[in-house]
């Protein structure tokens, strides 16, 4: 089983910051982030993950009102961790491929090959205001994301692994012919020029995708090493996993190369009753505040303030925001006959309590989640060191956009953050996302 911690401060639960034991002051709080990262690494977690968003205001979720920029924070955490994967969200709708490619290549260098990018299209239209743009429709955002990732892959392949020779005797700082200048022209993005960051330890960062809608699954099947999802029913979880794996195979990829990591919201207590009491306290602190109503409306894609809060959740129009998450929450609400006032209480997942005793029904769901993750599990091997006994499994692999290029491992450089073998990498065919061959790369003369 692979484990990741999705960190939102001061908590995923909209009222988590009000719990008596919660740290709710001193934001942004670097020491706390360092503590969480070190704890996760010591507990053999595979990934420390940060989401992101652009909106702020009195009514936003407490975790988004004021926060660190994710890649800046991960760069700081890279200095205090050595094995933990460091992943963050970056938007393909409100950014440029060059900026994102350079940032994640730099993080990969700083962390020794532990960077991961959660490819998101930015669901909420309110994010567009700070960029002075119109928010694209759902399908168009995913079309933009395909082009964006393809451009980033070309940029990461700008330099050969051994390009920066720094030969003092000959006076050659970089090896001639080692620069492959991308020439990318798409509908939404264009790149004419190489990346001014040497090729990183992984070559490409680990790619993560979290969309469960039709376009989201298609993008994940094309590009993702890790797929985040939220499922609350065993059969639905198995159906999702099988369907996604079939799509992965349809793009000529090994289905085992795309790892499914379902979200779970654990509430931990020394006994089941203590866990239940903690969960009740969290939910009791939800009131009809601007924050809780904003979160509820955002998740469902409709203004919920105009509906009676003591009535069942009404039929709502399909949203252009988080399509799959909205459908999941509505399904949960109708299955449990949830009132509108309580529909936003659970942040996601269906493991509402995990104490010393986990009920059989919960155990079954957790086993289902574990079953979604493929085996066998490889172990972390730090560069230059033997594989220690009990080293943690890692959920990621070393990418190659061009399967003909030798990997760093094959060149004798051990990456710090990978999963599949060099043999499996060689057999994997990576196609341009557009379905069209990219223009031939240039050389150092370009």
H/E stretch holding 85 reads strand 85-91
Alpha helix positions (H), 342-436: 360-371, 422-427
Percent of the chain with pLDDT over 70: 69
More confident residue, 417 or 377: 417
Q: What is the pTM of this model?
A: 0.73
Q: In the numeric block, which tokens belong to residue 195?
A: 């990346």
More confident residue, 309 or 358: 309
Give CA separation, 50 vs 25, 85, 170, 348, 392, in Å.
19, 11, 45, 16, 21
Of the listed ranges 227-231, 308-312, 351-355, the one predicted with least confidence: 351-355
- Any idea where the domains of the chain sit in the sequence? 4-158+184-267+371-427, 287-344
Distance from C-alpha of 220 to C-alpha of 242, rounded to nearest angstrom? 13
- Architecture category of domain 4-158+184-267+371-427 in CATH: Alpha-Beta Barrel (3.20)
Distance from C-alpha of 253 to C-alpha of 224, rounded to nearest angstrom? 10
Contact (CB, 8 A) for 148 and 158:
no
Q: In this predicted structure, what is the pLDDT of residue 333?
A: 67
More confident residue, 222 or 8: 222
Tens digits of per-residue pLDDT, 22-56? Answer: 888 888 899 999 999 999 999 999 999 999 988 88
Of the listed ranges 115-119, 153-157, 290-294, the one predicted with least confidence: 290-294
Query: Which residues have a Cβ under 8 Å from the Cβ of 339 and sit 6 or more positions away?
Result: 309, 310, 311, 312, 313
For 9-19, b/e burial (b = at least 16 CB within 10 A) is: bbbbbbbbbbb
Tens digits of per-residue pLDDT, 305-328? Answer: 777 777 777 777 676 556 566 676
Tens digits of per-residue pLDDT, 241-298? Answer: 999 999 999 999 999 999 999 988 889 899 999 999 999 998 888 875 566 667 777 7
Of the listed ranges 55-59, 68-72, 106-110, 405-409, the one predicted with least confidence: 405-409
Q: How many CB atoms lie within 10 A of CB 73?
A: 21
Percent of the chain with pLDDT over 90: 46
Report, in angstroms and rounded to the nearest whole number, the Rg of the chain calculated over CA atoms: 22
Give the sign of the dihedral formed by CA 34, CA 38, CA 43, CA 49: positive
Q: In the numeric block, which tokens belong to residue 50?
A: 């940060």
**Which of helix, strand or coil describes residue 310?**
coil
- How is 225-281 classified by DSSP, letter by letter? SEEEE---SHHHHHHHHHHHHHHHHHTT--GGGSEEEE-----B-SSHHHHHHHHHH
More confident residue, 104 or 311: 104
More confident residue, 182 or 329: 182
């Amino acid at each position: 089983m692979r484990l990741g911690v999705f960190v939102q401060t001061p908590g995923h639960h909209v009222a988590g910051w009000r719990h008596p034991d919660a740290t709710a002051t001193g934001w942004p709080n670097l020491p706390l982030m360092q503590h969480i990262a070190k704890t996760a690494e010591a507990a053999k977690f595979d990934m420390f993950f940060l989401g992101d968003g652009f909106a702020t205001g009195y009514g936003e979720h407490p975790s988004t009102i004021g926060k660190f920029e994710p890649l800046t924070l991960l760069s700081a955490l890279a200095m205090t961790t050595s094995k933990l994967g460091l992943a963050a969200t970056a938007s393909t709708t409100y950014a440029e491929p060059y900026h994102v490619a350079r940032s994640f290549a730099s993080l990969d260098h700083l962390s020794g090959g532990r960077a991961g990018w959660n490819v998101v299209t930015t669901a909420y239209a309110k994010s567009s205001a700070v960029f002075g743009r119109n928010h694209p429709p759902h399908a168009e955002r995913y079309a933009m994301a395909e082009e964006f990732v393809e451009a980033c892959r070309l940029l990461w392949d700008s330099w050969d692994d051994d390009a920066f020779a720094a030969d003092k005797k000959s006076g050659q700082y970089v090896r001639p012919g080692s620069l492959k200048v991308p020439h990318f022209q798409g509908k939404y993005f264009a790149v004419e020029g190489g990346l001014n960051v040497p090729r990183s330890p992984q070559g490409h960062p680990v790619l993560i995708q979290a969309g469960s809608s039709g376009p989201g699954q298609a993008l994940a099947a094309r590009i993702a090493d890790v797929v985040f999802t939220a499922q609350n029913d065993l059969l639905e979880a198995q159906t999702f996993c099988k369907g996604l794996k079939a799509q992965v195979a349809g793009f000529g990829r090994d289905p085992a190369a795309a790892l499914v990591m379902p979200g779970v919201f654990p509430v931990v207590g020394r006994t089941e009753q203590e866990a239940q009491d903690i969960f009740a306290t969290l939910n009791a602190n939800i009131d009809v505040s601007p924050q809780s109503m904003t979160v509820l409306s955002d998740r469902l894609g409709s203004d919920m303030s105009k509906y009676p809060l003591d009535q069942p959740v009404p039929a709502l129009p399909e949203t252009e925001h988080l399509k799959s998450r909205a459908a999941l929450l509505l399904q949960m609400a109708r299955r449990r006959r949830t009132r509108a006032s309580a529909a936003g209480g659970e942040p996601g997942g269906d493991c509402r309590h995990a104490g010393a005793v986990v009920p059989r029904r919960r155990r079954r769901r957790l086993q289902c989640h574990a079953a979604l993750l493929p085996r066998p599990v490889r172990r972390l091997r730090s560069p230059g060191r033997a594989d220690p006994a009990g080293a943690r499994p890692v959920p990621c692999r070393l990418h190659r956009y061009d399967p003909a290029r030798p990997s760093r491992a094959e060149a004798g450089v051990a990456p710090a953050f990978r999963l599949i073998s060099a043999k499996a990498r060689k057999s994997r065919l990576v196609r341009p996302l557009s379905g069209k061959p990219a223009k031939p790369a240039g050389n150092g003369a370009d």
